[in-house]
Structure 1
C-alpha cells in the first residue's frame, strides 16, 4: 500500500519574529530585507544613545514640541557640523511628508507629527522612491503587508514616541541592505565629531560598534611570531609572519580587540605547480585487500616532538620595523577596522617570509594560528625582524581575539578554537572543514571537493607553499619541501581511499578543549566543503558548555557579509561587540540559534531552535508511492567510449542526462525513482539515510545516490548576482563592497539535486575496514546523505537516483560493471520537519 511523505510529519516550531521589508522593484526581482540583529531598547536607553550620538543635545532634550524636535532631528541627519543650515534645510525640503507638503514645510506649518508624515519621510531616508517603491497617500497598507518595522504610537506622535521612532528608523536597514545609521556613518556623520575629544571611541549604538575611527590613519605593522614548532627541521623554532592593521588611536593608549584571519593563501599561491601535481582520476577502481581493521589500528599516534630552545631575546621595543600593503582583504574585516578593532592576517608555516613547511591540516597548522593568538594575548614573543631577536609585544591589544574566514581560513578558525587557546573569545567560521578525510574522501572512496577533481592534500600543500616564491629561501628549503611533499602523497593513499592514521591526525573533532562561543556559517549548496563538516562540528560542539549559532544560506562556497536579504554583518557586529568588547547587548539571546535561507522563495529567511528533525519517516524503495521511471533494478556503469570522453570534458551534460526525467543516454545507467506529486510543501531537515541491498558483477564497486527535487520552477541562481556595484559602504571614505543576492533564474528549470552520497562497496562497515565483494552477491549497507535543509513545494516530486560513477566527484574508471539493487529490501529514511497547516 502506498504511503505518503506527508503522513505524520514532525511539526515545525513557531517561526520567531522576523522584521521584513519587501518592495517590488520596477523591472527587477522582489526585494526583501530581513532584520535579525536589532536589539529592543527602552526609552531611557534610547535617549542616552541618541544623546551620545549627538542626535539629541542638551537643548533638544528639553524640547516639548514634537514638531520642533522632528525638524531638529532631520536637520541633524544632514550633518550640522559639516553643512550650513541653508544646505540642510534644502535637503530636508527635497523630501515629501504628505502629498502636498515637503518635509521642511511640514515642520514649519503643522502643529503635530502624524504617523503618515513620519513614515513617508522615513522611507525616503531609507532610500525608497516615492511613486516607484511606495505612495505618499497610503504607505501603511504597503508597510503592514511587508512587515516594515514601525513602533506602536499615537497619531499624532508624542515627543517620546517620536524619539523612539527616530531611533528605530536609524536602526532599520535601507533599500540597499545597510542600517540607516551605517549609511550615515559612511557619509561622514561620525567623522564630523572626530576633533571632539569627548566623543567616545569606540562607540556602540543598539549594541553594535560604530564606524567612528579614522581609517585614513590606520597603522600597518609586521612582526614575526616564534611558534613552538620546527616543521622544516632546521634546528630553530619556526618564525611566522603576521601583518597587523590597527587604529591610530592605539598610539594614544587605546587598547583594542583583534579580528584574526589565518589564511594560507595570504602570501601568494603556486597555481601552475599545483595544477601540474593534480592527480588523474580517469582510471579503474582497484580492488583492496580485505582487513579486519579497528579504530585502534588507524588512530594517529601522539605527536609531541622535541623542540629547539626558544630564541634568546636581545632587546625590546614597541615600534615595528616593517610595514606592508595588502592586495586582498576580507571586507568583513575591513568593516571592523572602522569600528575600533585591529585586524591581523597570518599565513602560517611554509608560507612566504615565514619558516617551516606546509602540512595540510595537521596540528602544526593549528599551532601556527594559536601562536599568533598567544602573542596577541601577551603569552608568546614576536620579533621585529627575522634576525635581530628584538622582541615586540602586542601592547595595543586588549587580549581578546575573534577569528574569521571561509574554507581553509574557517578550518583554521575551528582548529584553533578546539584547542581552548587563551584569548580566543569566538570564531566566525564560514564553510570550514571539520575532518580532512571527509573533504577528500567518502566511505572508502577518493571523492573530490566540488570543482576540484584530482586535488588532494599534496596539491593543496604545493598550492600554499609560498616560500617557493622567494628564490633564495626556496633554494635552502627545496629538498626538505620535496621530501615533505612525498610524505603527503604517500600518507593520503589515493590507491585505497581508506581512513588511516594520516587522516586521523587531520580530524578537528578529536581532543576537543573548546572554551569560546562559535558562530557557524555554511552554504546549503556548498559542494566544495560539504555540509557534513558543519553538521558534524555542530553535533560535536553540543557536547561542550559553549554557545553556538548557525546560519545556513543558499550559496555554494560564499561569503555572506554583502548580501541584501539578511543583516549578517550586523549580526556579526552584535556578536563581536559582546565577545570582544564585553558590551552587554543580549547578543546570545538576539542572534538566532539557527537561521536558514529558504530555497523556494527568494530573499526569505526563517529561524529555528535546531537543525535536524527529531524523527524520520521510512519508505521501502519498491513502495508504490514511487514510480521507477526507467523500470530498472540494475544498471551498467560502463558508457560507450566516445560518450564517456564527452562527459569527462563536460560533466554538466552528464548530470543533465542522469537526472532528467526524459529518456536519455544515461537511462540504462541508473535507477530513477520518483514520488507522487506532493500535496503540500515539505522540508527535509537534516541527514537522510538510505539502506541498500545491492550487488556488483565484479569484485569491486562503488554506488552513488542523489536526492532530486523534480518540478518546474525558477530556482535561485547558483551564483549570487551583483545587484549594485560598490554599494556597501564599510566606513567614511573607506572600502566599499558589491551588493549581492541570490535571485530567481530567468528561465525555469525542471530539477535540482540537493544532496548525495557515495560509497566503496568494500567499505560497507566503515571507512577503515575493508571487506570482500563477491561478484553478484547482494550486500546490505547504510549510506548517509550530505545533511540538508530543503523545501520541496507542493506539486513537486522527490527523486531518488541510484548510479555508479559520479563524474563530478569519484574515480572515473568506466569499468564493465553491472550493479543490481533489490528495491524491496532497500529503504530510505527522510527527516521531515514541516508541512503546512493542512497536515497539522
Structure 2
C-alpha cells in the first residue's frame, strides 16, 4: 500500500507526545517526586542522561510457531535486553534490535565480539557492538536477539527460511503484547516499558533478518537499517541460473552459525537444505521463493535506511539495488548510503558521520523527533576513498539508458565501442574456457589482444570528458553456440591509472588505535567498555579497474525456474544484467567491455563444455545508465 511522506511524517511527529507525555520539542523536565521521567532533547537529538552501568538487563524467551528440529515442541526465541533503569519507573522506550545468528560463533564487529554471561547469573555481560553503550543512555532499549537455532534459542537454523524470518517478528509480537514471554524461571514477563516502536539494524545476515522482518509486515516494526544485507537468498547463492557458491552452501552456513555442541543434533536439518535448493540445476524453486523478500516489498510498513558497498563481493550490490527499487515503487520512506568499500559496516568506513546519522534516524523514527533528517538528501555516495557527495535519489537524476554498440573486431584488433552501430552482418567467435581467471579476463590496453581465442574485447577511444554511469548496465547480444550448454559473462572495465579503492580486505584495514562511543560498566568483574579499533581505507593506483560484471546460465535465458538446452547453431538473444554501479570514467581513460563464457571470478561452477560462442553484431550492445544520456556519451567521445 502506497503511503504519502506527509502522512508518515505527521504520524512520527505525533509519536513524541506518546513517548514521553511531554511536548515533542525542547528538553523534558528532570524527574522529581511527582514527575514522570523523560528524555532530554537538545539540538534535535536525545542526550545521554540515563545510566548505563545501572541499566536493567534481562533475558527473555518467547515461543514461536515453528518446530524446525521436529522434536514436537515449538522453537523458542531468546533475547538479551538492556534498557534504562527509569524504564521500570514510567519511561516508555523504543527498541533498537540486532537479531543475529552469530552471537556465539562468528560473533560481531571488527573485533569479533561474542555475547557471554561471564559470571553465570543468567544475564548477558558481553554486549557486542556499540548500540547498547550509545543508545541506552539516550533512552532506548537495546535487544540482541538470537535467531532460532542459535545460541540460547532452540531449534535449528534454516538459512533464510521461515524460522529465520519469524525470529524477530516473534519477539516484536511479545514487545507489543501479542505473544507471551517468560524468564529463565518460567515466570511470565511483559514489556510494559515499551513504547510500541522497534527499529532493527545489522550487517550481513543480521541485516537480512531485518529485511525479512520488514517483508513480513509485522506490526510494531517502525524502521530497519539493513547493512550489506541479502534481499534474495537465490541471488546470494546463484546468478541467473548458475550456482555461485559451493554445493549445499545453505547447509554449510547453517553449520557455521549453529553452536558446536548442537551441530550433530541439527545435521538432518542441514542435510535437507542442499537437495531442496537444487544444486544440480541452479534453478529458482519454492525453496528460494521462501527466501526471497523482493516479492513482499508491498508488505513493508517500516522506513528503510539501506547501507551497502558497491564493491561488496559477498552480498553483491544487486541486493541493495533491487530492494531499493522495490521500496521506492511502493512509496516507502528510505535513505541510502553507498560506499566504495566491500562488505564493511559503516561504523568501520565512516564512523563519526555514521553514529551521528544513525542517532538522528532512530530519534526521528523511534522517538518521534522532527530533526530534519527526512528533509536532507536521501543518498550519500562515496565517490573516491573518504570523498562523499549527496544526491536526492538513486540512480542519480538525469540518468538515461544509453545504447553503446559493440563494433566487430578487425583481424588483430579489439572491437570498438560507439553510440553509433557498426555493420550488422559481422560476427566474431571465441571458445568458452572454464579455466580462465579474472586476471586473464582484464588486461591493460597495452595488451588488448591477450586470450583472443577465449574472449572478445571492445575498447572505446580515450575519453574526451568524464563519463558517469549510475544504475545497472545491461549487455545485449545475439549469439549462436555449437552445443546445448554454456555460460555468457560480461565485464565492464576502466582502463587507465588512478587512485582507487583496493579490493584487499574489502577495502579497509583495522588499526590498533581505538575511540569510544558511549557508556561503560563492570558486571561480574568484566568491564564492558565502548571502545573500538579504528579503521582506515585501503587504496591503490591500479592501471585498470573491474567496474562491474555479470554472468548468466545459457540454460536459463528465458526462465530462472526451468532449464532449457540451447539449440546448436540457432541465433539466440542474450540479455545480461551486470551488477549495479555508480562510477565515473575519467577523461583520458578507455572504457572496455569483455565478453566471456565461463567466468571464474563470479561462479564457483564453470561449465565444462568448452563451447564455441559466435557473437553477431546486428544487436550486440551494452546499455549504460549514463548520467546525461546519449548527449553526455557523445560529449565524452563515444
TM-score using structure 1 length: 0.63
What pairs up with 1:337-356 in 2 under 5 angstroms? 337-356=136-155
Establish whether residue 636 from structure 1 lines up as the match of residue 420 from structure 2.
no
Please say if 1:595 is aligned against 2:390.
Answer: no
Residue 443 of structure 2 is aligned to residue 660 of structure 1: yes
The match for 2:239 is 442
Of the candidates 311, 325, 331, which is equivalent to residue 125 of structure 2?
325
Change in CA separation of 1:724 and 1:837 when aligned onto 2, cut-off 3 Å? farther
Report if the CA contact (8 A) 2:409-2:458 is conserved.
no
Q: Which runs of 5+ in 1 are unaligned?
A: 1-47, 55-192, 271-319, 648-653
Q: 2:394 is matched with which residue: 586, 610, 614?
A: 610
Residues 1:254 and 1:566: Cα distance change in structure 2 (over 3 Å)? closer
Counterparts of 2:571 and 2:452, CA distance in 1: 23
* Distance 1:778-1:196 versus aligned 2 partners, 3 A rule: farther
Q: Residues 709 and 196 of structure 1: is their aligned pair in 2 closer, same or farther, counting only changes over 3 Å?
A: farther
In structure 2, the partner of 1:419 is: 216
Q: Are residues 1:529 and 2:312 paired?
A: no
Tell me the distance in 2 between the aligned counterparts of 1:334 and 1:819: 58
Of the three residues 258, 261, 269, the one matched with 1:469 is 261
Q: How far apart are residue 205 of structure 1 and its match?
A: 2.4
**Residues 377, 49 of structure 1: alpha-carbon distance in 2 compared, 3 angstrom cutoff:** closer
**Contact 1:220–1:244 (CA under 8 A) maintained in structure 2:** yes
1:232 to 54, 69, 74: 69
1:833 matched residue in structure 2: 627
Give the Å deviation of 1:704.
1.1
The alignment yields a C-alpha RMSD, in angstroms, of: 3.4
1:770 maps to 2:563: yes
Shift in CA distance, 363/800, structure 1 to aligned 2, threshold 3 Å = same
In structure 2, the partner of 1:19 is none
Are 1:692 and 1:782, in contact at CA under 8 Å, matched by a contact in 2?
yes
Match of 1:795 in 2: 588
Retained in 2: the 8 A contact 1:244–1:343? yes
Q: Is the 8 A contact 2:475 2:575 kept in 1?
A: yes
Structure 1 residue 351 displacement after superposition: 1.5
Q: Write the distance in 2 (CA, Å) between the matches of 1:195 and 1:553.
A: 46
Give unmatched runs, 5+ long, in structure 2.
1-22, 108-119, 417-426, 522-528
Contact 1:526 1:557 in 2 (8 A): yes
1:534-545 map, 5 Å: 534-545=320-331
Deviation at 1:817, TM superposition (A): 2.7
Confirm whether residue 365 of structure 1 aligns to residue 164 of structure 2.
Answer: yes
Name the structure 2 match of 1:80. none
Secondary structure at the residue paired with 1:213? coil
The total of aligned residue pairs comes to 574
C-alpha separation between the residues in 1 aligned to 2:570 and 2:337? 44
Distance in 2 (CA, whole Å) between partners of 1:202 and 1:749 is 51
Report the Cα offset of residue 249 of structure 1: 2.9
User: In structure 2, the residue corresponding to 1:360 is in which secondary structure?
Assistant: coil
| 2-structure distance, mates of 1:769, 1:815 | 20
The 5-angstrom pairing of residues 16-31 of structure 1 reads: none
Pairing 1:652-731 to 2, within 5 Å after superposition? 654-661=437-444, 662-663=446-447, 666-718=451-503, 719-722=507-510, 725-731=513-519
- How far does residue 499 in structure 1 lie from its aligned partner after superposition? 1.0
Map of 2:344 onto structure 1: 558
Q: 2:558 is paired with a residue of what secondary structure?
A: coil
Alignment match, 2:80: 243
Deviations 1:679-713 (A, max 9, x none): 11121111111111223332210111111111111
TM-score by length of 2: 0.82
Q: Please state how far the C-alpha of 1:819 moved relative to its aligned partner.
A: 2.3
Partner of 2:44: 207
Counterpart mapping for 1:218-297 below 5 A = 218-268=55-105
Structure 1 contact 628–671 (Cα < 8 Å) conserved: no
Q: Distance in 2 between matches of 1:322 and 1:197?
A: 34
The 1-side partners of 2:203 and 2:216 are apart by 19
Indicate the SS of the match to 1:823: strand
| 8 Å contact from structure 1 (residues 332, 561) kept in 2 | no
| Aligned counterpart in structure 2 of residue 497 of structure 1, from 282, 291, 313 | 282
Q: What secondary structure sits across from 2:496 in the alignment? A: strand
Contact 1:552 1:597 in 2 (8 A): yes
Q: 1:826 to 1:199 in 2, by over 3 A?
A: same
Larger strand share, 1 or 2:
2
- Cα distance per residue 1:317-352 (max 9 Å; x no partner): xxx9831222x6123454223322121111221113
Matching residue of 2:420: none
- Farther-moved stretch of structure 1 (748-757 vs 226-235): 226-235
